[in-house]
Structure 1
């Protein structure tokens, strides 16, 4: 078990190291940050002094190692747009809003998709199966931002049941959370349905029914437990994408999370904040996949003993 988790942790750290190289490279390819920090009428001496102060006159390898060393202790530099704050402070202030919205979207996805996928498999070619098929089709066809605008128009503008945008309580979270979760519901429903159909045809399921085991116990204890490995495979992608893929939805609903922050920082050419957001998203995504690896080992002993 410990050997398996150690291997997964090493893979995650290597992936994070590769991501730091990509982020550092893109920040240099996107333009000179000096142009965004100094006015257009800056003198050559001012440009030279700031370049030396930021260490941009050093070799690229030295700059990357310095960036890596600072990132390891959470120092990503000062924000260029939010004066007086570090990039890490700006991101951490808005991270709870993203986790709050992403957590609700994740909860909606799991609560809706798992039972729907199981029912679609158990009652194949019935109304449950048809409903799951329609939801899967619409979920993978409708763009999240378009769905968000339509939901806003129906439930906020026309009916007046919910607020159109902004940060607040549960009422402010419902529309953006549903917009984020819709695509994931369709994908998770299809995976659960296909996994359950395969398991329900297994011999041990037929044997359990012959022995007179209650149907509910056959479905949830015997069938779903063995089929759960497939949805869990997608759970890491699901959690990571809901927490890190909130850029568009947060912008549409003016939700002050890290997704909205990333767009604002890009528009303001705030490179330290953009780097910090990307690295925070990468850590969340890798952490979600590591949790999935732990769940693998707990559910299937063959994996942790491999």
Structure 2
């Protein structure tokens, strides 16, 4: 989007002739997004309930051990409501979500909400730090390579950048994590490879999460930067003999990042989900390592709650990106009408 076109874009949605701001496209946009979010939440809740009940095995027998008597197993199943009809169990599950009662963990013997409250901060801190590192790498790299390769210049630079970013973008997070542990943890002994007790313990897990998304985002930023640098408003800024720093940071960069915002939000959502594997590589005390151990223990209540937490996180990020795009470029909101 050219900078000179911004006033026209705002004018298409700005209130005119006394019309309130909360009207027309904005109201329809809010209704659509709210409906989509509620529908997605219902699918998420239903899918998490169905998925965990399709896993073979008896969670009560697993939690009590193979030597537990049949009477004890039956009493425990009745206590947990697992003897109720399927739809009754589903109704109780939904009720618990609304009342904040997520049940009791079968393996940890603690309220599920308490377990999540203990482990969620570690997962969020890792995901947010990984996203910050990815953006800090991708934006300067994409802008710099875009400036070097505009107008067909720097063919070797473009080829090397594209090849490297594609390869790094294809490497799975957990595989990169294993490589980082082997090199910097075991081989060189520079950084810890487990836990979150020190600030240095965040380095390897955050890099494992950030490198792949940073490579993908840098490619998009470079493409957008090359296109923006050929726009008329950039040529006008250069004709005014503005400093290069002003041209790039004030005029080119904001317009180049507009199209990258959607991808950035999607990457944040994928990084939240990607913590599941990375946390297990680095023995990170978050929800990712907890859900794996819960699946192995057939801990229905805990697995269901963690799946919902991850899903809600992704939905919130996607909705926030949609709103941010509508605020930055109102024409995207109008095009959906």
Normalised TM-score (structure 1): 0.91
For 2:123, the equivalent position in structure 1 comes to 98
- Return 5+ residue gaps in structure 1 as ranges: none
Mapped to 2, the partners of 1:273 and 1:99 lie a distance apart of: 18
- Offset from partner CA, 1:112-165 (integer Å, 9 cap, x none): 101111111111044764563354133123232222222222222232221122
Q: Compare CA radii of gyration and give the structure with the larger one.
A: 2
For 1:60, the equivalent position in structure 2 comes to 86
2:238 counterpart of 1:213: no
Residues 106-125 of structure 1: pairs in structure 2 closer than 5 A: 106-124=131-149, 125=153
Q: RMSD of the alignment, in Å?
A: 2.2
- Offset from partner CA, 1:194-243 (integer Å, 9 cap, x none): 12222222233223323333333222322222222221111221111222
Residues 149-228 of structure 1: pairs in structure 2 closer than 5 A: 149-228=178-257
Instruction: Tell whether the 8 Å contact from 2:59 to 2:297 is kept in structure 1 after alignment.
Output: no
Question: What is the SS of the residue equivalent to 2:104?
Answer: coil
Question: What is the SS of the residue equivalent to 1:161?
Answer: coil
Mapped to 1, the partners of 2:33 and 2:202 lie a distance apart of: 34
Which shows bigger deviation, 112-121 or 38-47? Answer: 38-47
Residues 1-80 of structure 1: pairs in structure 2 closer than 5 A: 1-31=26-56, 32-40=58-66, 45-80=71-106
1:167 to partner: Cα distance = 1.8
Which shows bigger deviation, 156-165 or 123-132? Answer: 123-132
1:73 to partner: Cα distance = 2.5
Instruction: Tell whether the 8 Å contact from 1:116 to 1:132 is kept in structure 2 after alignment.
Output: no
1:275 to partner: Cα distance = 0.7
Instruction: Tell whether the 8 Å contact from 1:165 to 1:255 is kept in structure 2 after alignment.
Output: yes
For 1:82, the equivalent position in structure 2 comes to 108
Instruction: Tell whether the 8 Å contact from 2:122 to 2:286 is kept in structure 1 after alignment.
Output: yes
Normalised TM-score (structure 2): 0.83
Instruction: Tell whether the 8 Å contact from 2:173 to 2:274 is kept in structure 1 after alignment.
Output: no
Distance 1:254 1:210, change over 3 A: same
Mapped to 1, the partners of 2:97 and 2:217 lie a distance apart of: 35
Instruction: Tell whether the 8 Å contact from 2:104 to 2:111 is kept in structure 1 after alignment.
Output: yes
For 1:274, the equivalent position in structure 2 comes to 303
Mapped to 1, the partners of 2:265 and 2:89 lie a distance apart of: 33
Question: What is the SS of the residue equivalent to 2:193?
Answer: coil
1:22 to partner: Cα distance = 0.7
